[in-house]
Structure 1
Amino acid sequence: MAMVAFAMRAYIKQLFDSNGRPREAQHLVDDVVEMFKVWEDQKESNKLNFQFESKESGELCKNLIKVFNLDKLPGHNEVTSLKDARWAIIGEFSKQKGFPLWSLKYIDTSDNIKKIIDNILKICEPDGLKNPSLLTETLSQLKQNSLDLKSLLIQTSLFEIGFKKYLHGVEMVDVKEDEIEEAIIYLRQHLQGEIGTWKENDVKEKLKDWRIEKNTSDDTELRKALVNLFDIQTDSDKLPIIDSIIDIIWGISLASVQYPIWTLKYVTSDTEEKSLLTDLHKLFIIDNYANLANSQELATRINERMDELKALISDKGNFYNGFINYIKGIQTIALQDSEIDSAISYLNGRKINIKAWSEILISNILKDWRLENSSKKEEEQEIPTTEKEEIVRWVQNLSPEKAKSILNAMCDDNVTLNLLKKYVNK
């Protein structure tokens, strides 16, 4: 036993237990005793499950400790392995900052810093240490950008700034400045795990939940306004939820005209009506949580223009006329009256649900229609009779050598009439 213990001296701090902690001299003495016990009892022992730490892992650990000042964190004054460093970053470090490390990606910083942050967070995941190339890449990046990253890490306020910027940028939620603190409180109460383990997508999905819950509680006036505007028959004492009302509008009111509500913008000259119709269309888009952010304000605007909007909606011809006015106004298409039926037939042939119709989508589809139409017209153009006769005369007067030259030239897509003239000496 003494000889084995002596031989194991070379592995002091070179072997690591399953928790990533290095085995000190005293630990190895215990390990040797445990090993002989296993031999005697002929039973396995989990205490003898060790691993070597790669050179890259050890060096990366040291760099992380230095850049993040991990050895200064309470309870982490003995960070001795990469596994320790990972727990310190997603645990106490992120807790002190109050926001996850990836928040720094959303301040004005370089792509290199963003890449390093992504890689560090990948290493902090359960299987992060199983990717040697990731460790090597991160170590190299950290060495090259350590000063820049450290200068960001020490500024705690940047974490909050970056996190708020991320929340403001989440599509379909549209967090207002006066709502941001309320949203953060909701996230802290509903996201599971340590702050350092929060993922961007988890935050985004939970933020959508916050918006839905918030809107459900204060959208009564908007629901009343929509029921009145579209003459929806319902129990006045029990209004449907906003999603159900929108489903009714799509399924009955707009389905009967086969055009989205934004088309009405092109039959009115009133600026406020145009703005309202735009906002209503946004509201009707599936999962568009953002448009309920100011439901009370939208309800007030609808009520102020209720008669005018009802007049527009009640005349089904307005939808068609508005659509025609829009497509005729697309300058890049230059649609003629004689082409309207062809353009609409092409659009209907795409079989796109009117819920997905937007001005940009319709414009792009009709650009395709215009290109295809133009190509067909070019293909249908015939060579003028005079040119046909001229070509026939050239061919009849060609010598075999010149005919061969012309055939060779015609293998090139760039052959032109002038090139043919050159070969026949015209």
Structure 2
Amino acid sequence: MTHPTKIETLATSILRNQVELTAWQRKFLLHLFVLWLCVKGPHNFINMSRHGDYVESTYRNNFAKPVNWLELNIQLVKDNLSDDRSLNFDPSFLPKSGKCTDGVGRFWSGCAGEAKRGLEFSGLAAVDLEDKTALHVLAVQTVEKNSNESLLDYYACIITINADKLMEVSKYVAADACFSRKPFVDQLVASGFELVSRLRTDAHLRYLYIGPKEKRSGAPRKYDGRVNARQLRPDVFTSCYQAEDGSWIGYTAVVNIKAWKRPARIVIIHDLDENGKVMGHRIYVATDVQLDGGELLHIYQCRFQQEFLYRDARQELGLEHCQAYSWEKIDFHLNVSLTVGSLAKVAHHLQGQTQRSQPFSIADIKTQYRNEYQAIRILSLCRIDLHHPLIRKLWPGIRNHGKRRA
């Protein structure tokens, strides 16, 4: 019962390769990763000192020390996900009151459907396209934006300044329709990335002219008319995907996007009624014109795996519990919260081949770690031998007590 947990074993192998960390930082992070799953209540410095081995000031001071979360998480991704991967980019809103917190302001909240006062961070995640699962890569708080810099430029800069490391994960970056704008697209393409996103239903798309050169003066003809998304030309668009129940069908082609001033691969989904009549449409896009239409759609659909990381971190891992003022400590808190979720997923789900068919539950993993922590602490205070045959017999029941799926 006193042997290292799965997360301790996994984290030890990852931290061993982080050469910029001191011996104390490795020890602290290893302790913190397990403690994060044992804490009951808010994940703040006071509560950590109640459950952990150190005083409040130790946690507070170490949260201000830099950690290369990007390199740590990329190593976790490369060791545990397949080679068929994509990157996901998605900003997220965090409620936060007070006036002294770094970066506090008004940001868009997707849940509320309006701008609210609080914090915002941009999250990068790696998605395994074969297994349809995601692991955290990096979280960056929206803070210290230049006055002459747009928010889209700020978002793009987060990706481009880390391009060398992020390319080790994938060149494809999936983002929602908010990022299918020329300034964001141009910066990503210039850095070697390929964007997979969604367009407005009324986007101006133009057929590329591939006919013979016309005998007339002036520049050669480039375009062959505007694309009507409801009435596609069969000589240009080909079917690439279809729902099993026949509720929609997808068509793909390479066209010119007027707002981007560049050609791109698009997939137009026709939503059909019972009689096969087109009732609506959606447009998905990729800057890589060589990308298969079905793969484009698959990459975008897998983008929602990142939302499960945010959900687990919010509900069980204290993503919104940080009470620090400085952006350094907030950045540390955001990344450790999401990284612990990835460590738990790898250690208890991805590496357990017999459990891959079962759903991943961070709530059950946290319950198990909290049960083990409380049992070991109580038994140790009572000076009861943890390796006694009776304790060994009862230990599985102690670990699984209160789990939703025992």
**TM-score interval for Structure 1 and Structure 2 normalised by the shorter chain:** under 0.3
Structure ranking higher on relative contact order (CA contacts 8 Å, 6+ apart)? 2
With the length of structure 2 as denominator, give the TM-score of the two structures: 0.21
Structure 1 or 2: larger helix share? 1
Structure 1 or 2: larger strand share? 2
Task: Please tell me whether Structure 1 or Structure 2 has the larger radius of gyration of its CA atoms.
Answer: 1
With the length of structure 1 as denominator, give the TM-score of the two structures: 0.20
